[in-house]
Amino acid sequence: MPKCEKNIYLRKDGRWEGRYFRGNSDGKRKYGYVYGRTREEVECRLESLTDTKYKEGTFECLSLEWLNVEAPQLKASSIAKYNNLLKLYLLPKFGSKQITSISREEVILFSRELLLKGGAKSNGLAPKTVNSAISVLKNVMKFSEREKGIRVTDIKDISVKQPQKPMRILSRNEQISLSNYIFANPTLCNMGILLCLYSGLRLGEICALQWKDICIEEHYIYVHQTMQRIQNSGSDNARTKVVIQPPKSDCSIRQIPIPDDVFQKLIPLRQMDDAFFLTGTADSYIEPRNMENQFKACVNVCGIRDINFHALRHTFATRCVELGFDVKSLSEILGHSSVNITLNRYVHPSMDLKKKNMNMLSKLLTTK
């Protein structure tokens, strides 16, 4: 039976056959079929079924079903994020609409509206947030088309441009100043800052790190979990909760060698295996936002301004490139899925390095 298009087929007997989803029974998907002498006739019949009892076509129903289907494969943080995007932006706009009636022009206008007037204060959302909301809308539409056979508007290429903001990194003098301060004040929390500066660990990764994740014999860190505060969908009154879970991708699960000088500073501070690195106890931890505050207090003492915790990771990557690191090795240490991510997002060559590279051209200037 040759396939003409999604869910419509030309049978061997010359008739056209269309399939539609009727619902679930005993855990199995059930389908119905319509027939016609032409493809257009079958399309017309399927279109009429889309708007009847066989299809719950509102965006709200379909988005909730999509999330229920995807939930077993998602982390708690992702589920919380998608729920939030639906609740705040997508459902108020599209919730009661038939998904077949959502037009391309409407989605474009919606994305512009979020960008200019979105948010609690109506002063506009960040492009990244707008793209996240549009991405959820695309996924619901894709799910409706793939699993329900509903014909939806093509919005695959709709997105908002995200300007690349220059990332502040520590200068060499600032890095030396911060390192010297930590050496003089080697608390567990300060050593966590140093470890991030010389290993590229993310904020959530250092907060979730336990002493058993540091291999003393072979001098490396085993990164396999991260800490994050997410919205709480449970029955208790807490609006948010802290979760410790695997990193955002398989590539982020990795082993990072520890520089020898940094490792020697860690040995005197060693705690029991189950203890969190930053606290030295198993029953208490420092969550990311508190660690960010600790970092700000530390750099203020050093006279360093206008910098956030993630800049440690950018600084690490930039210094590695300046020192001639193999980029493939650096990419794996950072937990990236490709070398391009490392080069385009995290590496910021200094002016000194650019001058050094440009001066290599001087070798071509020879006098005869």
How far are the Cα atoms of 291, 321, 352 from residue 360, in angstroms, in the given order?
Answer: 43, 17, 13
Residues of the chain with CATH 1.10.443.10: 172-355
Name the phi and psi angles at 262, rounded to 5.
-70, -40
Contact, 290 vs 281, CB < 8 A?
A: no
CA 199 to centroid of chain Cα atoms = 21
Strands (E), 16-57: 16-25, 28-36
pTM (2 decimals)?
A: 0.74
Residue matched to tokens 């005993």: 26
Contacts of 87 (CB under 8 A, 6+ apart): none
pLDDT digits (tens, 9 = 90+) for 135-150: 999 999 999 999 888 8
Per DSSP, what are the bridge partners of residue 230?
A: 241
Instruction: Tell which CATH architecture fits domain 172-355.
Output: Orthogonal Bundle (1.10)
Residue matched to tokens 């995290």: 346
Contact, 213 vs 223, CB < 8 A?
A: yes
How far apart (Å, rounded) are the C-alpha atoms in residues 92 and 359?
58
Average pLDDT, the chain: 87
Residue 348 sits at the vertex; the CA angle it makes with 342 and 349, to the nearest 5 degrees, is 115
Task: Please report the pLDDT score of residue 162 as a whole number.
Answer: 80
How far are the Cα atoms of 57, 83, 94, 236 from residue 89, in angstroms, in the given order?
Answer: 19, 10, 9, 25
Residues of the chain with CATH 1.10.150.130: 56-163
How far apart (Å, rounded) are the C-alpha atoms in residues 205 and 291?
11
236, pLDDT greater than 80 = no
Length of the chain: 368
Contacts of 287 (CB under 8 A, 6+ apart): 207, 227, 229, 242
Task: Please report the pLDDT score of residue 231 as a whole number.
Answer: 82
- CATH number (3.40.640.10, 3.30.830.10, 1.10.150.130, 1.10.3720.10) of 56-163 reads 1.10.150.130
Read off the pLDDT of each residue in 165-185 and give the average, rounded to a whole number: 92
Task: Return the higher-pLDDT residue of 86 and 20.
Answer: 86
pLDDT digits (tens, 9 = 90+) for 263-305: 999 999 999 999 999 999 999 999 999 999 999 999 999 999 8
Name the phi and psi angles at 229, rounded to 5.
-95, 125
Find the helix packing angle between 327-334 and 311-322, rounded to 10°.
Answer: 160
How far apart (Å, rounded) are the C-alpha atoms in residues 296 and 309?
8
